[in-house]
Amino acid sequence: MNITIVGTGYVGLVSGTCFAETGITVTCVDVDQTKIDNLNKGIIPIYEPGLEPMVKRNMEKGRLFFSNSLKDSISDADAVFIAVGTPPDEDGSADLQYVIGVAREIGQYIDHYLVVVTKSTVPIGTAEKVKAALKNELTSRNVDIQFDVASNPEFLKEGAAIDDFLKPDRVVIGTESERAQAVMTKLYKPFLMNNHPVIFMDIPSAEMTKYAANSMLATKISFMNDIANLCEIVGADVNNVRRGIGSDSRIGNKFIYPGTGYGGSCFPKDVQALIKTAEQKGHPLEILKSVELVNNRQKSVLYKKMMAHFDGDLKGKKIALWGLSFKPNTDDMREAPSLVIINKLLSEGAEVIAYDPVAAKECHRKIGDTISYAKDQYEALIDADALLIVTEWSEFRVPNFKVMEKLMKEKLIFDGRNIYDLDEMKDLNYTYYSIGREV
């Protein structure tokens, strides 16, 4: 089999590489020539554990190609996947100009039956728009070439993307013809043979499934954040509550960890887009509006605790911040809670010195030298009035507390991810604030 993936962003690059890993011949196409040149040299534009060697291996095996020519790449393809960006419009709805642009281009060059698959997260009804754009091009070319559209949303998590792709909980595919279903079945045969569920359905349901999944996960997180804040007030420990409810299999023990709010390129954007779609259709999603509100509030929780501790005066305080990326194992800073916290600290006149295992460069690109960057986690602590933990990188979990107390001015930690044990903090005589637990 032979496929083309348009867009070498996160979803496109990971999907293309993983499809190649299953033995399919894949050409990844992008309009960004520098990106394509770099990829052809084996230089990967994103940080994703395990991706680089997999890209190189599949290039060497002659199964993975990078090109800037959509025309050449689709000439012998069975399917073409659209995996370009859908950034939020000013009003929160997804901007489809790139997706539709690719559909038009496919329409200009298509010369045999193809399945055109949307892989980017797109609003319900997008496959219909893709079909219309493609048909328009065929009409203006005055040719009658058969094609089908399909929806195959992606459920990858950054930092675990390769495993998520190759060992999925499920694959969702929306089709509207048996011919397209046959092509998609062939493409996903290795997954079917390994007993990973491949769920076929109609196209609108597949498109909706993606938004419903991310919105449900975001809802779990905001719910737990809200409960955690209440736990503090009533004297409960959210860790106990989490274990207590998570062992009910109907609730499940995943995605119920309170923290500094969800970030990244997916949850905030998808929640906003679904709120928007629902409003446009005259069926406002009240629950989801609250999920977003609670999340925005949660990003300030650590800052508020800090303000309360320092009696509202952070001027001149030196704050060490561990973890900049929106979650561990990625350098992604999009919608990262750290940015909100940093902004608030700086506006109060505090000084921030941050450490992140991989995201410092990306953070610097976003906010420049408004903060300083330490070369390791201990350097950030020198003369610090407090330590703020925003992202739960593994290396922060078992630090040397004895070394830390020698470096810091005060033994004071604000932990947005509940990574330390309350009793241990007491024994070590640290003042320790966390989320949803006693001080």
Which of these is catalytic: 18, 28, 231, 266? 266
Alpha carbon of 398 to those of 44, 77, 226, 353, 421: distances in Å? 31, 50, 28, 20, 10
Which positions lie near ligand UGA, rule CB under 6 A? Answer: 121, 154-158, 214, 217, 221, 255-257, 259, 262-264, 266-267, 326-327
Closest to 146 measured CA to CA, from 184, 177, 175: 177
269 labeled binding residue: yes
Q: What is the smallest separation between the CB atom of 56 and ligand UGA, expressed in angstroms? A: 23
156 labeled binding residue: yes
344 labeled binding residue: no
Q: What is the smallest separation between the CB atom of 101 and ligand UGA, expressed in angstroms? A: 21
Rounded to 5 degrees, what angle do the CA atoms 373, 435, 285 make? 100
260 labeled binding residue: no
46/346 with CB nearer ligand UGA: 46
255 labeled binding residue: yes
29/94 with CB nearer ligand UGA: 94
Alpha carbon of 172 to those of 27, 154, 168, 205, 270: distances in Å? 22, 8, 10, 9, 17
Q: Which residues of 210-246 are buried (b: 16+ CB within 10 A; e: fewer)?
A: bbebbbebbbbbbbbbbbbbebbeeebbbbebbeeeb
207/348 with CB nearer ligand UGA: 207
Task: Examine the residue annotation and report whether 231 is marked as an active-site residue of this protein.
Answer: no
Cα gap 265→121, rounded to integer Å: 11
Torsion of CA 304, 308, 312, 315, to 10 degrees: -80
Q: What is the smallest separation between the CB atom of 210 and ligand UGA, expressed in angstroms? A: 7
119/131 with CB nearer ligand UGA: 119
Q: What is the smallest separation between the CB atom of 385 and ligand UGA, expressed in angstroms? A: 26
Q: Which residues are annotated as part of the binding site for NAD(+)?
A: 30, 35, 86, 121, 158, 269, 334
| Catalytic residue ranges | 266
Q: Which residues are annotated as part of the binding site for substrate?
A: 155-158, 210, 255-259, 263, 327
